[in-house]
Amino acid sequence: MTEENQVDLDSLLDDEEDDSIFTSTSSGVIKAAGLGTHINSALGATPAELGAAECFLIGRIIDNSGSIAGLSGGEQAICDGANIYLETFAGAKVEDGILMGTWKVNEEDPIQPFVTVDSVVKLEVGQNYEAFGYTPLYRQIYTVMAAMLVKMDAEYHDAGIPCRGILLAVTDGLDEDGDWRGNPFTASMVANLYEEIGHERLIFQLMGVGSAANWQKVGEEMGIEPQHIIESTTDPHDIRAKFHMASKSAQSASKSAKSFSQSAAGGFTVTP
């Protein structure tokens, strides 16, 4: 992977042509919120570095808010679950074209940008993961989703390489961004960007932990289909099990265009 990969986002965001990858609305959101640097920090491996005929992006947004630390065994369960998700792809080869990027929910730059599976680091409590702070859920989802659109269209499509992806967001709480910044991102903003990318290219999964919200309602407000919304109790065993379900769905989707369509239709019920 390369940390130096950069895209001229100013040109992309100011492009008024019909083939611009961003609408004027999403371009305005990105510029107003100053997301350009954080999008570029996510890009990682270029088409030349990947060297595969197709690309499959996996974005993971992992909750590290303070409420996770309040759950019995919560931090370890979240790390274990994220690592189970990673281990599902342990046998993936570079030629499989799978890239994975990982974010904590309240840190704007990734733990790692999009890199090949063999370069992804595991999450470890006290090393690269600690639960504290608040939950800017919609802002973080919007940033990662925008970065995935840049990779799909400005990098891989332009290189003649088909690219699809899956985005998993894991949270135990509702969005708190407006409480801190006063100019919050919203569920409808996320839904609009998801629609721009196209559900035929991106599967958006939500894993809600605990009973802080009606997760079906939260997910549907972001444009997520019901079959891609999953709920977990706060029991560590259940958290790990639901991560495993999410990973199996992602693994199935990554295999081919046909498998992707089947996973999109079947959601968490799809197995490889």
Q: What percent of the chain clears pLDDT 70, i.e. is strictly above it?
A: 92
180 domain residue, yes or no: yes
35 domain residue, yes or no: yes
Residue 32: pLDDT band (50, 70, 90) is confident
Answer with the residue of higher pLDDT: 25 or 82. 82
111 domain residue, yes or no: yes
**How many domains, in total, are found in the chain?**
1
Give yes or no for residue 34 having a pLDDT over 70.
yes
Quote the DSSP letter at residue 260: H
3 domain residue, yes or no: no
Is pTM beyond 0.75? Reply is yes
Question: CATH number for the domain including 119?
Answer: 3.40.50.410
First to last CA, the chain: 28
1 domain residue, yes or no: no
Range of the structural domain that residue 122 is part of = 9-269
| DSSP code string of 67-134 | HHHTSTTHHHHHHHHHHHHHHTTTT--GGGTEEEEEEETT-SS-SEEEEEGGGPPPP-BTTTB---S-
Residues near 147 by Cβ (< 8 Å), separated by ≥ 6?
38, 39, 42, 43, 59, 101
CA distances from 152 to 58, 92, 96, 164 (A): 12, 20, 16, 7
